[in-house]
Structure 1
Amino acid sequence: MDLPFIVATLTRRGLLTPGRPIRVASQLNALRKWGWSLAGELRQAAARDPGRVAVIDDQDTELTYQELLDRSMRLARAMRAGLGVQPGDRVAVLCRNHPGLIETIVAATLLGADAVLVNTGLSPAQLATVAQEQQLRVLVHDDEFTERALGLPADLPRVDERAREELIATALPGELHPPERDGRIIVLTSGTTGAPKGARRPTPNGFGPLVSIIDRIPLHARDRVLIAAPVFHTWGYAALQVCFALRTTIVLHRRFDPAATLDALVRHRCQALFAVPVMLQRLMEVPAPDPRPPLKVVAVSGSALPGGLPSAFMDTYGDVLYNLYGSTEASWASIATPEDLRQAPTTAGRPPHGTRLAIVDDTGDPVTGGRVGRILVGNEMLFEGYTSGADRERHDGLLDTGDLGRVNADGLLFVDGRADDMIVSGGENVFPSEVEHLLTQLPQVREAAVIGVPDPEFGQRLAAFLGLHPDETLDADAVREYVRHYLARFSVPRDVVFVRYLPRNATGKVLTRELRRYYG
């Protein structure tokens, strides 16, 4: 990435404003010694703005950047002395969004250990599989997950909330030096179709990744930001990285509640919100506060935006919505701005600066003219492979996302769904996501999921699962007729099932395996 672009972007976002020379020097020295890991980002923020509030929890308890760093360093020293954590070990973090989660991740990276971010929705059996496959050294968990961890090996040390506080309080003094190896962040894939896999996240090597994001999403230094997306998820963790780099004040709630979130946005005067799309749906189901929160950015990722949601949300909260399309493995591929979403509500936007995007066919040749093909992406933060040693398919430095999509004449990307979600019904290729987007346009429909199920005559057929708004009614024939009016006959779902809520994991993705249980 070219230097003039980096400097211009950092200037626009307030990161190159003058400061006290001794603090600026200390900030740059922290980055020089500790690099761009989460520990390095926290150190640079504490060096530049030690007294600034770093994080506010859902009890309104505040920690400054210096306090957060001090607690993280004490925890690191205690984990090394009391638990024997060494560079290269793996520390599992099974926590919801609160300061203790941040302290644990930072402590692990301070020691050169890998932090394994565990999805809070994993079952006891899945957690046991993760412990075995990731060869965990320590499990740090919230109290609510104590029972879930009972089936883990007896010799795996477990640190609950009280034990974590005791470690911090009793840590012996001593210096922490940059470890002999960088600690990695291991994010577990969502596991919507089976056991999650560990994906090794790279450590940024400069301003490039930050600049790619904040050039397109206008976050500023010292903003106040509520991170509602789970930090154990790639999007929530990316939000944390960006917030540390910008020295923002971060608001965290352990659980997402739409009314409490809106109250916190107003009360803490938040300019930005990081969320997953289903959270925006929940926010739209409760009355908007008066006055509105001073939001300038609402950034979402993690799953597709329902077609009618962007316009409805922006009609209520202003043109502040940004949608990042990416994955655990690819980080980001494209970003849709409010202008993009007003023009085409289902678009994934355009690649940000420094990102390469290609649409190819099964042989790897480019696809043009708005035709559907495989989406390949290249950027500075492609994952380093799975902890099992496996990798995703790559072509000329570009990662195969596993998604199918197309680019229109205006250069906007549209994602048609996972390659393995496309079904063949009676010899026709059908994309369930296209039908999903259409169904969410119905005023009665709150959420929709469409999947392929076995069919003895056509091979596969579509089944639609619909959650309706309260007090709304709809019948299956009306749904089929609506789809038939807009799409080809083979896109009409033969099965229409009404549900109260779609089954989702903690990051908001629909659990399609749960839906398939309707069919044995």
Structure 2
Amino acid sequence: MRDDVVQASSVLAHPPERVWEVVGAPERYSRFVPEISWCEVVEPASPGRGPRCLIRLRPRRGELVEEQIHAVVHRSGEHVVWRGVADERSWVSVELHPLPDSRTELVARLMLPSPRAELSRSALKRSVQEIARRIDRHLSGDPAPPEDPQRNKATTLRTASTLVRAGVLSAGRPDKVARQLTSLAQWGATLAGGYQAAAGRAPAEPALHDERCARTFGQTEERSNRLANALAERGVRPRDRVALMCRNHAAMVESFIACGKLGADVVLLNTGLSASAVAKVIAVHQPVAVLADDEFARVITDVRGEFLRVSTWPEAEAGYPTVDELIAGAKPARRKPVDRPGRIVVLTSGTTGVPKGARRPTPKGVGAAAALLDRIPLRSGDRIVVAAPLFHTWGLAAMQIGMALRASLALVRRFDAEETLRTIAEQRCDALFAVPIMLQRILDLPSRIRGRYDLSSLRIVASSGSAMSGAFVHEFTETFGDVLYNLYGSTEVSWASIADPDDLRAAPTTAGRCPLGTRVAILDEDRRPVPPGGEGQIFVGNEMLFDGYTDGGSLPRAHDLMATGDVGYVDADGRLFVTGRADEMIVSGGENVFPRPVEEALMALPGVYEVAVVGVPDTEYGQRLAAYIVPRRNARLHAEDIRAYIHQRLARFAVPRDVYFVPELPRNATGKVLKRLLNDDTWPMDPDGGLAPVWPGH
């Protein structure tokens, strides 16, 4: 053997044909090999020719490497040799030798020319043995070994260290620090307590900015005191419910804080709800007051019931008192701390009908802020553009984390891509909180328009709310640099994981890693941990799991964790990946199929702007997939080409039988695709088989 070839071997307790299920599936390598973060088959194997793949790998002490590889030897169940396309001096050989008792010897040989030849023979041997153990456990169905419970625990020291690094805890004038700490001690880590603490520490610093006004922390404190007193005079009491139907602006935040000072629960109404849905939500939750922007006045007027109506964004004479009028006529006296902090009710996204109310927990302390700051490096005093709706869990998180950081929030009432860039440039903003469809609209702007704005101050673009395709992540990162952070979570579990720029460079579709104090487990149908590399339902544990739905329902729990309703897996380096919604899985010809991998593959096609894949009934196979595609401008796509493209990259049963070209996808107010509407006969589409028309605007 040549001196520069490193060899190692290990014995597995399974026959070669079983081991080949992993060795012969390069798209699954990242689940077993920590150094491989991504492997995508770009040309499948065919008779006499092995597959060709795009691979990203990171030696333990090296930089991320991306290259194409192809299998120059590919004997099923026996031997595969991977060689670099650009550099044929690099190759890896894996041979499977049958042993007695249905065992297999796995022999790995590695040739990595300098300067990438970093693995010693002893290191390679250890690595091969570790990989072999993962494969063995996977094939045996043995659960993955439990994580060290202390590994990600939110200890007092780690929490304090995170908060000090972000500037949440910092030295200052003794009297101001005392006022800050007293407010937090009396009111807790609530919006009322946080903004009162910020006013005590930095009253003259900017707190809120919208298209009509700017407020300091001191002004926000006084106005919310007056508003709380005005609402109390009109009958709002502790534990009453107050509904808010507002877009992002200062009056909404002030109303939020005022309700907290009264100990009233806030019900956040989605601005995209239909009039009938609003009426149903109000009938279920029975608020004593509804504070709404004037554009929703007609919706609120038509709702039956006796409750106080207040205008939060006056545009015309609606006949209701405005927030400013209530504030002007009320006393500025501070409210006394309440026995029970007001709770927040967030409506679920409502993709399957009328949304349910989810009771958000009151943070037990500043640990909730530390969890996000552990993975997203925001700092005290940052200027944050909040484009995500405040009624949405992600917009709410932006407001809560901004409160802890004493950040200045630039509130975007109606999202416009160019106006958002103008705000970032003019106010020298450090961060943007948005949902993925907003980032897509920014990316859609012509480069000449994006180039008008100086975005050099922008360090963080924090996104959540729906999945981002790998193609989008790559394009956004190439355009704006390593600023993208993606949070995976839900209304019910808050957060599960956060992907930072390093994660997204390594694996663009990853949901990232758990923040401080959060645990994720992948469980099977019997609520047992799956083997290494296995898929299962995603369960999450943290201190911000919701308190249940307002109708008394909840979500399944196991091992002190809560179900997300999603299915996924964890790769060998600890990154979480979401395969799809459990309720979206279909069974086609006896095979389990998820739409999301098909959507991911289609989004890589240059002519595809957006795509949604759903399951539909099939008389022969039980169910089949249907793809709804929004083409890019001037793109000409044919349904048969779409099917052929997927057939090359995914299994036969993942090929969509039906392909429709549509001008847009139905979405709710937060940009989430409403897949239930795609099967509606009234939704516009081109029949299967035709060329995609040239839709304007994409």
TM-score, with length taken from structure 2: 0.73
Does structure 1 residue 448 correspond to structure 2 residue 607?
Answer: no
In 1, the alpha carbon distance for the partners of 2:431 and 2:618 equals 46
In 2, the alpha carbon distance for the partners of 1:69 and 1:16 equals 21
CA RMSD in angstroms, aligned pairs only: 1.3
> 1:58: how far off?
2.5
In 1, the alpha carbon distance for the partners of 2:350 and 2:630 equals 23
1:165-314 → structure 2 map (5 Å cutoff): 165-286=324-445, 287=447, 288-290=450-452, 291-314=454-477
Match of 1:375 among 538, 550, 562: 538
Alignment partner, residue 559 of structure 2: 396
8 Å Cα contact 2:343-2:359 kept in structure 1: yes
Match of 1:322 among 482, 485, 490: 485
TM-score, with length taken from structure 1: 0.98
Gaps of 5+ in 2: 1-153, 315-320, 684-698
8 Å Cα contact 2:488-2:495 kept in structure 1: yes
> 1:514: how far off?
1.3
The one-letter code matched in structure 2 to 1:238 is A
In 2, the alpha carbon distance for the partners of 1:274 and 1:63 equals 20
The one-letter code matched in structure 2 to 1:209 is A
Change (3 A) 1:29 1:265: same
8 Å Cα contact 1:262-1:293 kept in structure 2: no
**Structure 1 counterpart SS, 2:306:** coil
In 2, the alpha carbon distance for the partners of 1:269 and 1:172 equals 36
8 Å Cα contact 1:78-1:170 kept in structure 2: yes
**Structure 1 counterpart SS, 2:444:** coil
1:247-298 Cα distance to aligned partner (Å, 9 max, x none) = 0111011111101111111111111010111111111011323433421111
The one-letter code matched in structure 1 to 2:248 is N
Does structure 1 residue 35 correspond to structure 2 residue 35?
Answer: no
8 Å Cα contact 1:270-1:293 kept in structure 2: no
In 1, the alpha carbon distance for the partners of 2:675 and 2:614 equals 7
> 1:154: how far off?
4.3
In 1, the alpha carbon distance for the partners of 2:357 and 2:277 equals 12
> 1:137: how far off?
1.1
Match of 2:644 among 462, 481, 484: 481
The one-letter code matched in structure 2 to 1:355 is T
In 2, the alpha carbon distance for the partners of 1:256 and 1:58 equals 12
> 1:518: how far off?
3.4
Structure showing greater Rg: 2
The one-letter code matched in structure 1 to 2:271 is T
The one-letter code matched in structure 2 to 1:211 is A
The one-letter code matched in structure 2 to 1:280 is L
Gaps of 5+ in 1: none
> 1:519: how far off?
8.6
> 1:55: how far off?
1.0
8 Å Cα contact 1:57-1:99 kept in structure 2: yes
**Structure 2 counterpart SS, 1:509:** coil
In 2, the alpha carbon distance for the partners of 1:200 and 1:85 equals 20
1:314-355 Cα distance to aligned partner (Å, 9 max, x none) = 111110111110000000001111111111100001111211
1:426-453 Cα distance to aligned partner (Å, 9 max, x none) = 1111000111111111111111111111
Does structure 1 residue 120 correspond to structure 2 residue 282?
Answer: no
Alignment partner, residue 589 of structure 2: 426
> 1:397: how far off?
1.0
Alignment partner, residue 81 of structure 2: none
> 1:157: how far off?
2.2
**Structure 2 counterpart SS, 1:308:** helix
The one-letter code matched in structure 2 to 1:29 is T
Identity %: 52
Alignment partner, residue 129 of structure 2: none
In 2, the alpha carbon distance for the partners of 1:456 and 1:244 equals 55
Alignment partner, residue 216 of structure 2: 64
8 Å Cα contact 2:486-2:498 kept in structure 1: yes
In 2, the alpha carbon distance for the partners of 1:367 and 1:269 equals 47
1:81-121 Cα distance to aligned partner (Å, 9 max, x none) = 02x00011110000000011101111111100000011000
Alignment partner, residue 172 of structure 2: 19
Alignment partner, residue 79 of structure 2: none
Does structure 1 residue 160 correspond to structure 2 residue 343?
Answer: no
**Structure 1 counterpart SS, 2:516:** coil
In 1, the alpha carbon distance for the partners of 2:242 and 2:457 equals 38
In 1, the alpha carbon distance for the partners of 2:532 and 2:341 equals 44
In 2, the alpha carbon distance for the partners of 1:474 and 1:109 equals 53
